[in-house]
Amino acid sequence: MERRDFIKTGLITTVAPTLLLANIETIKRARNPIVISTWKHGVKANEEAMKVLFSKGSALDAVEAGVKISEADPTIQSVGIGGRPDKDGHVTLDACIMDSQGNAGSVAYLQDIKHPVSVARKVMELTDHVMLVGQGAKSFAITHGFKEENLLTEESRKAWLKWKMKQGKKDELGPNDDHDTISLLAQDSVGNLSGACTTSGLAYKISGRVGDSPIIGAGLYVDNEIGAAGATGRGEEVIKTTGSFLVVELMRQGYTPQDACREALGRIIRRHGGNPGFQVAYIALRKDGEIGAAAIRKGFKYALSSENENKLHSVKGIIN
C-alpha cells in the first residue's frame, strides 16, 4: 500500500493512539506514599508531605503542606517569605498546584502574602479560573482570609542593596541565575498524584517578570493516568518548551521518567548550540512510583522520600 493510501484509510492516525493506550495500561499504579521535590530544602518539605500521606491524607494535601514549609522559612531566599526581590526591591511570588483530577490553580506576581500555594489552591477550588495575578490575586487572597505581611527580610534586603551597588558592571542584563524553586510531586496511598510549585522567581528580575513556576504545563504538570513533573531553573526556557507537560507526555509515549527528563532538557540544550550557560532541572514521578531527575548543569539536588527514607540526591549535569 502507498503512503497516500495509508493516510486515506486512516491507518496512520489510528496506530499511534493504540500504542499509547497499551503503554498506559501496562504501567501499574503504585500505592506506597512517595514524595519527590527539588533542592535541599525539599528534605524538610518532603518530611511534612510524608506526615500527611502516612496519616492517609491525599496527595493534594501533602503537596500543599510540604511546600508551605519552604514558603514559611525566611532563610530560604528563593521561596515565600525571605525570597529575593525583583530589581526594584519588591518580593513577588509565583505558585501553582494541580490535583489528581486535572484541576489546577495558580497565582503570579503576588505580593505580601506568605503562602502563594494556598492561594493557588483556593483559586482552583473556589473559582472557575486557573490563574490570578498581581493585585487581583492579592485582593482574592485577602478576601479569603490570608494575612498581608512584609516578605522582604533584612537579609534579602541587604543582598539586594549589595547587588544594586554592583549593577551596571556584572548584572546589567537583568536577572542573574540564582534560583531554587521548590517543585514537589506526591503519590498517596490510593495511588493518586498531585503536584505543587512555588517560588520568588529569578533574583532581581525585571519588575513584572513571571517565570515558569505558576504556568501549568511549564513549571508543573500532573496527569493522574501517567505521572507528574516539575521544573526549576531558568523559567523562560521551561516556558518555551512547555517543559513539565513535555516530560509527562514523553512518559506517556513510553520514555522512562529519567529519559523523559533528559529528553526535555535535550530540547533546551540543542536550542542553545549544545552548551547553554544556565541551569534547568526536572523531576518526574510516574504512576508506578518510578522517579526521574535530570539537570543541564551540575549542582542540582532533589529530595526523595518513600516509606523507609528521606534523602537528598545529587544529580550529575548533562553537559558538566
Q: Report the interface residues with ligand ASP, using CB under 6 A.
A: 78, 179-181, 199, 201-202, 211-213, 232-233, 235
Output the nine-digit C-alpha cell for 147.
494575612
Name the nearest CA neighbour of 36 among 191, 179, 194, 192.
Answer: 194
Q: 152 or 215, CB closer to ligand ASP?
A: 215
Report the distance separating Cα 17 and Cα 20, nearest Å. 5
Per this entry, what is the length of the chain? Answer: 320
- Report the nearest approach of ligand ASP to the CB of residue 19 (Å): 33
Query: How big is the chain by its Cα radius of gyration, in Å?
Result: 20
Residues 6 or more apart whose CB falls under 8 angstroms from that of 160 comprise: 84, 85, 89, 152, 204
Closer residue to ligand ASP in complex, CB, 227/235: 235
Contact 140, 133 (CB under 8 A): no
Give 37's DSSP letter.
E
Nearer to ligand ASP, 280 or 304 (CB): 280
Q: How far is the CB of 181 from ligand ASP (least distance, A)?
A: 3
Q: How far is the CB of 282 from ligand ASP (least distance, A)?
A: 11
| Cα distance between residue 94 and residue 118, in whole Å | 11
**Active centre residues (catalytic):** 181
Minimum distance between the CB of residue 290 and ligand ASP, rounded to whole angstroms? 24
Can you list the alpha helix ranges (DSSP code H) found in the chain?
3-9, 11-26, 42-54, 59-71, 116-126, 134-143, 154-166, 235-240, 243-252, 257-271
| 230 neighbors 108 (Cβ within 8 angstroms) | no
Comparing CB distances to ligand ASP, the nearer of 211 and 276 is 211
Could you tell me if 242 and 218 are in contact, meaning their C-beta atoms sit under 8 angstroms apart?
yes
- Our CB check for ligand ASP shows the closer of 61 and 180 to be 180
Nearer to ligand ASP, 30 or 45 (CB): 45
Residue 103 is given by DSSP the state: -
